[in-house]
């Protein structure tokens, strides 16, 4: 489907939105506590991770497991013309709002693409494509869309027990 946004994260086109937006809880996956909306102390001025090659040894395994499915760079490039909150901190609340709104949509689109590798009935395939199209068109989540996605997953589970 060529109308889909990229679902592969590209940190070079983002502004480290996950390193700001995620809540980190000190424990097995993270060495530190950090509230959502606060930049990680390991983030450099130019939005690079200063311990990128050392994340596991530094107790930040959770960072290696995280994937925004392309939501971060889409927010930065499509909503903010490539600008960074580092240069204009007043952008941060709106960037966080858009990132949190878009992330679940991208995560579900990635799952819908994955579902396309299964042997689906024509009805399920039609619904999968319709859901992908709908998810790609909107910039924030809704109960309607979430419920429709959940219904698709339930139908998929019944068809492929």
CA angle in degrees (0–180, nearest 5) for 120-134-20: 110
What Cα–Cα distance (Å) separates residue 1 from each residue in 76, 109, 130? Answer: 23, 11, 11
Q: Determine if 60 is a binding residue for ligand SF4 (CB under 6 A).
A: yes
Binding piece for ligand SF4, criterion CB under 6 A, among 38-46, 105-113, 129-137, 148-156:
38-46
Whole-number minimum distance, CB 38 to ligand SF4, in Å?
A: 10
The rounded distance, in Å, linking the Cα atoms of 29 and 47 is: 21
| Of the candidate residues 43, 110, 129, 145, the single one contacting ligand SF4 (CB under 6 A) | 43
Span from 37-45, 91-99, 106-114, 134-142 in contact with ligand SF4 (CB under 6 A): 37-45
Interaction between residue 42 and ligand SF4 (CB under 6 A) = yes
Q: Which is nearer to ligand SF4, 21 or 124 (CB)?
A: 21
Helices (H), 69-142: 71-74, 92-115, 122-137
């Amino acid at each position: 489907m060529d109308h889909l946004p990229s679902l592969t994260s590209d940190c070079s086109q983002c502004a480290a939105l996950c390193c700001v937006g995620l809540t980190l809880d000190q424990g097995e996956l993270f060495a530190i506590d950090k509230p959502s909306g606060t930049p990680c102390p390991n983030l450099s001025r130019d939005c690079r991770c200063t311990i990128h090659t050392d994340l596991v040894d530094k107790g930040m395994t959770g960072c290696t497991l995280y994937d925004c499915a392309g939501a971060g760079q889409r927010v930065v490039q499509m909503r903010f013309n490539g600008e960074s909150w580092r240069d204009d901190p007043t952008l941060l609340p709106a960037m966080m709002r858009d990132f949190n709104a878009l992330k679940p949509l991208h995560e579900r689109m990635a799952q819908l693409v994955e579902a396309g590798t299964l042997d689906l009935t024509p009805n399920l395939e039609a619904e999968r494509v319709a859901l992908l199209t709908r998810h790609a068109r909107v910039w924030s989540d809704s109960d309607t869309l979430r419920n429709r996605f959940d219904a698709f997953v339930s139908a998929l589970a019944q068809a492929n027990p």
